[in-house]
Amino acid sequence: MVHLLAQGDKYGYEMLSRLHAAFPDSRESAAYALLRELSKNGLAQRYQGEVSEGSARKYYHLTEAGHQHHETLLVQWRALRRALEELGIE
């Protein structure tokens, strides 16, 4: 979710659709709980967007702290990938 938000503001259902395409067993409730937690921890902000079919979309925006967290996660991911490659796992 943090990586998706690092690419730009997104509304909840848009992120859920992309997440579900990559991970078909992902649960909507877990995704929205994660978005709430990101907001609660100051890593993302939620705001009302355009109205679509009767209800306003809730958009999420990564804060500066969220962008910093994203960079930290990328460093950790790259280190993990290098370690796996050294073990012959690709």
**Averaged pLDDT of the chain:** 93
The pLDDT score that the predictor gives to residue 49 is 83
The backbone torsions φ and ψ at residue 42, rounded to the nearest 5 degrees and listed phi first, read 75, 15
Whether 71 has a pLDDT exceeding 80, the answer reads yes
pLDDT tens digit sequence for 24-58: 999 999 999 999 999 999 999 999 987 767 788 89
The pLDDT score that the predictor gives to residue 61 is 96
pTM, to two decimals = 0.84
* SS3 (DSSP) at 25: coil
**Percent of all residues in the chain with a pLDDT value above 90, rounded to a whole number:** 86
